[in-house]
Structure 1
Amino acid sequence: MLFMLIVKASPTSETGKLPSIELMEAMTKYNEELDEAGVRIMAKGLHPSSSGIRLSFTTPGEQPEVTEGPFGNPKELVSGFFLIDVESWEAAIDWAMRMPDPIGNGEGEVELRQVIEGTEEMESLE
């Protein structure tokens, strides 16, 4: 089962500054543990929203509206993600609970979501 751990942005992550050495070491250790367990598919951080664009598909069949960053409330943005492949929802929760504060300073927030795998699963959600 695929799961995404979505690291929410914060005012600190939106500055674009690198995290502390201690946090980078803790995240490296976490990534190594994921790798050793054979569950990590991918993990990446994102540049701040100031270097991004947002496409809004407001009118069907027409070109989307393009908005340049930075975007509003950092808590509504994503600063990174982990994609893991585990046997169960419980295992995904266990890995999420092991993650260090991904932003530091008590600002970290992670959302855990299961990935839809294929059309059969999509149809079962209807």
Structure 2
Amino acid sequence: MNPNNYASLEASQRLLSSGIVLKTEVRWYRYKGIWSEHSYPYKTIEEISIPRPSMAEAWRELPDSIDGTFEDQMADTYELMIGKTGGIAYAGYFAHEQFENTNPTDALIDLLIHIRKEAT
């Protein structure tokens, strides 16, 4: 399994801390203080688990576009974009804040947290 196709433990924890809980196929489980991922229901003594979104699971939670203005111009619609330059992935909307990470799924998660926070 390519780890960049899934959220890191830190990004998964940021997502949960921000109050966003996604239904995912893979979860992080903690057993005896050690976190590991599993793609099936897994019972542990501690029974502590958090969702570990895939890139597709994070992507589908983001709006296709957002409305806004750029440099005091007329209101416009900006499309969701993701790319990679020099080993760094970025996710965002044109003329708005972009989030960068070596893990593209983590960049999408940081964008999702930002978008949901702005919506409230």
Considering the TM-score relative to the shorter chain, is it more than 0.5? no
TM-score by length of 2: 0.24
Higher relative contact order (CA 8 A, sep 6+): 1
TM-score by length of 1: 0.23
If each structure's helix is expressed as a fraction of its own residues, which one has the higher value?
1
If each structure's strand is expressed as a fraction of its own residues, which one has the higher value?
2
